[in-house]
Amino acid sequence: MALRIEPRRNVTTMTRLLAPVTAVVLTLLFGASLFWALGFEPLTTLYAFFIGPVTTLYGISELLVKAVPLIIIACGLAVGFRANIWNIGAEGQLIMGAIGAAGVGLFAPAGLGMLLLPLMFLAAMLAGMAWAGIAALLRARFSTNEILVTLMLTYIAGFILSWLVRGPWRDPMGFNFPQTALMPADGMLTPLDPRFRVTASVFFALLAVGLLWIFIAKSFAGYRLAVGGAAPRAAGYVGFSEKSAIWTGLLTGGAAAGIAGFYEVAGPLGQISAVISPGYGFTAIIVAFIGRLHPVGILLGGLFLALTYVGGEAVQVSYGIPAHITRVFQGLLLFFLLASEFFTSWRIIRSGGPV
Amino acid sequence: MSSKDQTAAGAETPRLELRDIGKTYPGVVANDAISLSVAPGEIHAILGENGAGKSTLMKIIYGAIQPDRGEILYDGQRLSHNSPAQARALGIEMVYQHFSLFETATVAENIALCLPGRMELAQLSARVGETAARYGLNVDPSRMVADLSMGERQQVEILRCLMRDPRLLILDEPTSVLAPQAVEQLFTVLRKIAEGGCSIIYISHKLDEVRALCQSATVLRGGRVTGTADPRQASAHDLAVMMIGGDLPVTEHPPAVLSVEPLLIVRNLSGRPLGDQGRALSDISLDLYGGEIVGIAGISGNGQAELAACLSGEATDLGAQMQLLGQPMPARADARRRLGLAYVPEERLGRGAVPGHTLTQNTILTGFTAGLIRRGMVRYAEARARAAAIIQGFSVKAESPAALASSLSGGNLQKFILGRELALDPKVLIVAQPTWGVDVGASAFIRQRIIDQSRKGAAVLVFSEELEELIEICDRIHVLSEGKLSPSIPRAESTKALLGSYMTGRGDPLATKEAP
Amino acid sequence: MELWIAIFAGTMTAATPLLLAALGEVVVEKSGVLNLGIEGMMLIGAAVAFWLAISGWGLPAAFVGGALAGLLSSALFAALALLFMANQSASGLALAIFGTGLSAMIGMGFGSQPVATLKALDLGGLSDLPLIGPLLFSFDPMVYLTLATVPAVWWFLTRTKSGLILRMVGESPENAHAIGYPVLKIRLAAILFGGAMAGLAGAYLSVAYVGIWVENMTAGRGWIALSLVVFAAWRPWRALAGAVLFGGFTILQLHGQILGLPLPSEALSALPYLATIIVLVAISQGRKRRLDVPASLARPYRPGA
């Protein structure tokens, strides 16, 4: 008797949900055993990692601060991923967005008042789009692999940032720290509550989720992109342009990452320094996958992965466990998700042997 | 049966004997109580239409599928192989309809991969040359497979089997890639192989070929044996009755009423090949009038894909002088579709339809030109209703518009795609391989709907490898061979011999006159 | 003159980890599998090798350990890509992210402790020869070993039956399965080989090239190695040429100031990445190149599925 696999004919909402949920559960189980192996009481550590941080209002605010960029970027990336456009360099686009926002904030003439924030927003978005646009141009014009180009551009963006904050943009009053001056008050978002760091960016994240939903579930543009991703030859057959899919996919991701950069600069950071993101651009890829490129999934996935950040910080503070465990968890989560997806798209059956 | 055959059968143990073979899949009985016997050196036909259970039976003999019931005797021994590798070790070889050659390797390397032991290419090439000469095959061992024509690839496949001294050779629809003249050459090779004592099982749905080549035939329909015959003696009518339960259904073909001006004009179209194995088109001119069906005959790989892509708009970079409905041809496929052009491609899953999308979503794929989009938003309710109408109007076997395209059988998907395109009421319709892999009943239905559309005034262009089909439905036929288009041949003059001579590039000296 | 000799020597040592990883990936991709996780495997290999070295196991053990660590981490990818038929790009990415985290965790305790790095081979009189000595006979053994791997991989892929089988599995796994070859086992072997090579590359970086532990010390070299494979059109000799070219860019960055290039150091640091993009663009131009791409690259396959 041999085992055979065959594609599932009906993929229900239940089986769709199964993979991410299984992946989360497996990651938790693995996390518990990892804590145990490191010599910690698994359940309490797990509690400290995943539950403890969100038992306070402050913790929830911090969770949202981390979730906002993840959700915004993942919504943008999902558009490209649906079209099989692999923008892996959202981190670089976020950096360029932050630079764009900071540039306007630092150098725009004073007295713009209410106009400053929208200008920073616009500059960040355009900077992110421009950075992703390089990859789009090269892919559309020369079919250059966008995975490698967006990644290389991420490293280059890092060097540009480093040059700016150590060189021309360094805060002259900053005791030689590699960072710019703080944004002017008009260029800062006011926290929703003075006790916390979370700003109105949460509403923008929700807006991004809503826009993604309309794009995917209703719009013809979203339909064309999905056809191109699922069956490129079918897209060619009816004349859906591959080039416009490349541009749409990459520019949307770039815009979203740039906007996330704006919210970092105008929100929790208030300036740019040599390191401005704990890998949001990369983690957002996992958010998009764990959310199965669906807006609601991305919302939940963004919250969960934000939890791995705050949890990592929490266990570092209280147990001295290195915060890098966050990355391990994130990688594992993606591993488990990819493995679980197998069971939702295939059925394992016993192939009937000879009677 | 002749007396000679009887003594041969009586004196020798059959090379292969099937007893009561059965195989059931969920919802389908693929094979039911199939028994047959093949003598050494015999060429035995398995005759049946698409879906009769031929492929399942062959895969059972070849060890790729395990039967639920019954037994297989090979040289009188009960066979319990369960993999093609074991079958090959016993001397059973199979040439699939879609070849299993590696294109980036040479002929010799391809053969070496199927032989045990070390790879000594020089020595092997010599042996390959000898074997090829013995059977009248013409194969250069040092050539890359990617550079070979379909007919040459088939010779390599057969040679690869012969290098292993087979005792039973199975061929699955081997002539679908050959011009009529090349079919004759293939038969000569097969007869030589059989003379050497190797038995051959020849799977086909073509009556005339089976009657020309085979000494015995087992006819399948719906997974069961419906008769056995000596095809050299039996009439085509008798075989057809066994195969499909009656004569081939005929289509109604009212006379064509042509439009005054051609709806599609192509002038001096030349272009480079698509992909690595394409064929460049050379100086093609074509007029297509409303009300007529024009056929493009020829073996795939002679420019068919390129011509279809140029007309549909998939190949936008192939420059051409074309007119559609009196206007210059727009560059992009979607713009052509908005003018009234529709296209049913040869490749259904992945090109004509998105496999992982529902039938509703697949209706939007081409229905976007006809009311399914409003202000940039998809009207899903309308799309669902249209999908349901297509399912009903074209008797597509699908649970609902929510069924995935990949869950449909090939024939049903073809009905859906054709229905979807006809629902747009196209003025110019291009159909490639309309009935490829479709059973007889559905084929007749599809052909009739194509004829009906042309008689409503549409200009129809049909690409097909099946000459019988083109002769049946077309008003005139061009042959596309090596990228060149033959003169138009009116229906009345279209014979397989004449078309075949154009397919081999020789042309017919008498048929020089141009059709209207 | 001394400077140019130093630049050449530096180029070769900078090229070595790139070449090791790229040669491994050539074999992986020739079998039809795209493993984007080189960066992660290199980091894990680097961390494990460094750990073995500072724990006093000796450098040979460090290299073997690094290779084994890379191999084991590639097994994770193999499980996803082969057994579960997961999207190979996503699986490779998961490996890259996981490797970054895991290596940083392993490296937490290393601090800024240095290890004694791999020494140049002492070839007696040969190394002392003027000009030729420093140019040809003064490298560490891994450089020579890596250079020897180039013809070995070339010979395997183009001259042996096993190499032919591997390439054909990469062209059409269906056909290879149909004529009786165990596609998944062959691909598994290729992936594990690629993992071991990436692990070795990481080990070279940590215990031969740098000598102290730096978090994320590969700094994108895994991704550059991937670009190299494309640049090399999946051919070992061209991978060597590409690795030397990229090694040169890395060294240019170190010697840029000395050479008096009027650029900020960040611009020089960005050079290898910029060069990668330029090279990728240059090579995606040719139409003929499509024939070089393994036809089934990154397409999940399981017999009977």
pLDDT of residue B275: 65
User: Is A74 part of the contact surface with chain C (CB cutoff 8 Å)?
Assistant: no
Residue B354 clears pLDDT 80, i.e. is over it: yes
Phi then psi for A94, rounded to 5 degrees?
A: -65, -45
What's the pLDDT tens digit per position in C94-153?
Answer: 999 999 999 998 988 887 888 888 887 777 777 777 777 777 777 889 999 999 999 999
Identify whether the C-beta of residue B427 lies closer than 8 Å to the C-beta of residue B290.
yes
Q: Which residues pair with B71 in a beta bridge?
A: B19
CB contact under 8 A, B276 and C180: no
pLDDT of residue A2: 54
Closest CA to B204 of B303, B58, B9, B27: B58
Closest approach of chain A CAs to the CA of C214, in angstroms? Answer: 14
Q: Give the pair of three-digit tokens for residue C243.
A: 């690795």
Confidence of residue A353 (pLDDT cuts 50, 70, 90): very low
DSSP H helical segments within C35-82, as ranges? Answer: 38-54, 59-78
User: Is B103 part of the contact surface with chain C (CB cutoff 8 Å)?
Assistant: yes
Domain spans of chain C, in order of start: 17-218
Q: What dihedral do alpha carbons B42, B47, B50, B52 form, nearest 10°?
A: -100
CB contact under 8 A, C97 and A282: yes
A11 or A119, greater pLDDT:
A119
Q: Which residues of A touch C93 (CB under 8 A)?
A: 88, 285, 334
User: Is A342 part of the contact surface with chain C (CB cutoff 8 Å)?
Assistant: yes
Q: What is the pTM of this model?
A: 0.89
CB contact under 8 A, C277 and A322: no
B93 or B504, greater pLDDT:
B93
Other beta carbons within 10 angstroms of residue B328's beta carbon come to: 9
Confidence of residue B11 (pLDDT cuts 50, 70, 90): low
Residue C219: closest C-alpha in chain A: A155
What are chain A's partners, defined as 3 or more CB pairs within 8 angstroms?
Answer: B, C
Residue A1: closest C-alpha in chain B: B66
Closest approach of chain A CAs to the CA of C126, in angstroms? Answer: 40
CB contact under 8 A, B350 and A240: no
Closest CA to B220 of B255, B244, B184: B244
Domains and CATH numbers, chain B: 3-91+166-244 (3.40.50.300), 262-503 (3.40.50.300)
CB contact under 8 A, A237 and B312: yes
CB contact under 8 A, A324 and C273: no
User: Is B96 part of the contact surface with chain C (CB cutoff 8 Å)?
Assistant: yes
Identify whether the C-beta of residue B39 lies closer than 8 Å to the C-beta of residue B8.
yes
Burial status of residue C109 (CB atoms within 10 A of its CB: 0-12, 13-18, 19 or more): exposed
Radius of gyration of chain C (CA): 19
pLDDT of residue B262: 94
Closest approach of chain C CAs to the CA of B287, in angstroms? Answer: 33
Please report, as a single letter, which amino acid is at residue A23.
A
CB contact under 8 A, C281 and A322: no
Q: What dihedral do alpha carbons C40, C43, C44, C48 form, nearest 10°?
A: 170
Q: Name residues 115-144 of chain B within 8 A of C (Cβ).
A: 118-119
pLDDT of residue B7: 42
Residue B264 clears pLDDT 80, i.e. is over it: yes
Pairs of CB atoms within 8 A across A/B:
78
What's the pLDDT tens digit per position in A55-110?
Answer: 999 999 999 999 999 999 999 999 999 999 999 999 999 999 999 999 999 999 98
Q: How far apart are the first and last CA of chain C?
A: 62
CB contact under 8 A, B353 and A234: yes
pLDDT of residue B513: 41
Closest approach of chain C CAs to the CA of A118, in angstroms? Answer: 31
- Give the separation between CA A327 and CA A278, rounded to whole angstroms: 10
Closest approach of chain A CAs to the CA of C187, in angstroms? Answer: 18
- In Å, how far are A142, A250, B149, C4 from C73, measured between CA atoms? 34, 31, 44, 39
- Give the separation between CA B20 and CA B69, rounded to whole angstroms: 7
The residue segments making up the domain with residue A126 are 12-347
- Provide mean pLDDT across the span B253-271: 89
- Give the separation between CA C78 and CA B119, rounded to whole angstroms: 29
Identify whether the C-beta of residue C7 lies closer than 8 Å to the C-beta of residue C227.
no
User: Is A230 part of the contact surface with chain C (CB cutoff 8 Å)?
Assistant: no
Residue B1 clears pLDDT 50, i.e. is over it: no
CB contact under 8 A, A355 and B334: no
pLDDT of residue B53: 87
Identify whether the C-beta of residue A338 lies closer than 8 Å to the C-beta of residue A345.
no
Phi then psi for B220, rounded to 5 degrees?
A: -115, 145
pLDDT of residue B324: 92
Q: Which residues pair with C26 in a beta bridge?
A: none
- Give the separation between CA B480 and CA A161, rounded to whole angstroms: 61
Confidence of residue B277 (pLDDT cuts 50, 70, 90): low
Residue A347 clears pLDDT 80, i.e. is over it: no
Query: To which H or E segment does residue A144 belong?
Result: none
Q: Which of B21, B324, B339, B378 to mutate to test the interface with A (most CBs of A within 10 A)?
A: B378
User: Is A237 part of the contact surface with chain C (CB cutoff 8 Å)?
Assistant: no
Q: Which of A144, A162, A275, A351 to mutate to test the interface with C (most CBs of C within 10 A)?
A: A144
CB contact under 8 A, A234 and B350: yes
CB contact under 8 A, C180 and B84: yes
Of all residues in chain A, the percent with pLDDT exceeding 90 is 72
Residue A26 clears pLDDT 90, i.e. is over it: yes
Tokens 């196991």 identify what position?
Answer: C57
Closest approach of chain A CAs to the CA of C101, in angstroms? Answer: 4
Q: Which residues of C touch A7 (CB under 8 A)?
A: 305
**Residues across chain A:** 355
Q: Which residues of A touch C95 (CB under 8 A)?
A: 331, 335
Residue A10 clears pLDDT 70, i.e. is over it: no
Residue B487 clears pLDDT 70, i.e. is over it: yes
Identify whether the C-beta of residue C175 lies closer than 8 Å to the C-beta of residue B102.
yes
DSSP H helical segments within B104-206, as ranges? Answer: 107-113, 121-135, 150-162, 180-195
Q: Which long-range contacts (CB under 8 A, 24 or more apart) does A84-87 make?
A: A84/A228, A84/A229, A84/A232, A85/A139, A85/A146, A85/A229, A85/A245, A85/A246, A85/A249, A85/A250, A86/A146, A86/A147, A86/A150, A86/C89, A87/A132, A87/A135, A87/A146, A87/A150, A87/A249, A87/A250, A87/A253, A87/A254
Q: Give the pair of three-digit tokens for residue A116.
A: 């400053």
Bridge-based pairing of strands A2-7 and A346-351 is: antiparallel
Q: Which residues of B touch C172 (CB under 8 A)?
A: 100, 102-103
Q: Which residues of B touch C290 (CB under 8 A)?
A: 276
Q: Give the pair of three-digit tokens for residue B415.
A: 């009905």
b/e per residue B19-37 (b: at least 16 CB within 10 A): eebbbeeeeebbbbebebb
Point out the least confidently predicted range of A68-72, A155-159, C6-10. C6-10
Confidence of residue B318 (pLDDT cuts 50, 70, 90): low
b/e per residue C59-72 (b: at least 16 CB within 10 A): beebbbbbbbbbbb
- Ranges assigned E (strand) in chain A: 2-7, 346-351
Closest CA to B434 of B403, B404, B413, B407: B413
Please report, as a single letter, which amino acid is at residue B472.
E
Question: What SS3 class is residue B268?
Answer: strand
Closest approach of chain B CAs to the CA of C168, in angstroms? Answer: 7
User: Is C160 part of the contact surface with chain B (CB cutoff 8 Å)?
Assistant: yes
Residue B510 clears pLDDT 80, i.e. is over it: no
Residue C195 clears pLDDT 50, i.e. is over it: yes
Closest approach of chain B CAs to the CA of A304, in angstroms? Answer: 29
CB contact under 8 A, B333 and A223: no
Burial status of residue A46 (CB atoms within 10 A of its CB: 0-12, 13-18, 19 or more): buried
A273 or B511, greater pLDDT:
A273
Q: How far apart are the first and last CA of chain B?
A: 50
Which of C36, C230, C274 is closest, CB to CB, to A156? C274
Confidence of residue C293 (pLDDT cuts 50, 70, 90): confident
Give domain status of residue A4, yes or no.
Answer: no
CATH of the domain at A192: 1.10.3470
User: Is B83 part of the contact surface with chain C (CB cutoff 8 Å)?
Assistant: yes
Residue C19 clears pLDDT 80, i.e. is over it: yes
What's the pLDDT tens digit per position in C207-226?
Answer: 999 899 998 999 999 999 99
Residue B514 clears pLDDT 50, i.e. is over it: no
A173 or B377, greater pLDDT:
B377
pLDDT of residue C152: 98
User: Is B101 part of the contact surface with chain C (CB cutoff 8 Å)?
Assistant: yes
Confidence of residue B497 (pLDDT cuts 50, 70, 90): confident
- Give the separation between CA B489 and CA B486, rounded to whole angstroms: 8
**Residues across chain B:** 516
- Give the separation between CA A324 and CA A137, rounded to whole angstroms: 35
Q: What is chain C's mean pLDDT, rounded?
A: 89
User: Is A349 part of the contact surface with chain C (CB cutoff 8 Å)?
Assistant: no
pLDDT of residue B8: 45
CB contact under 8 A, B119 and C171: no
User: Is B381 part of the contact surface with chain C (CB cutoff 8 Å)?
Assistant: no
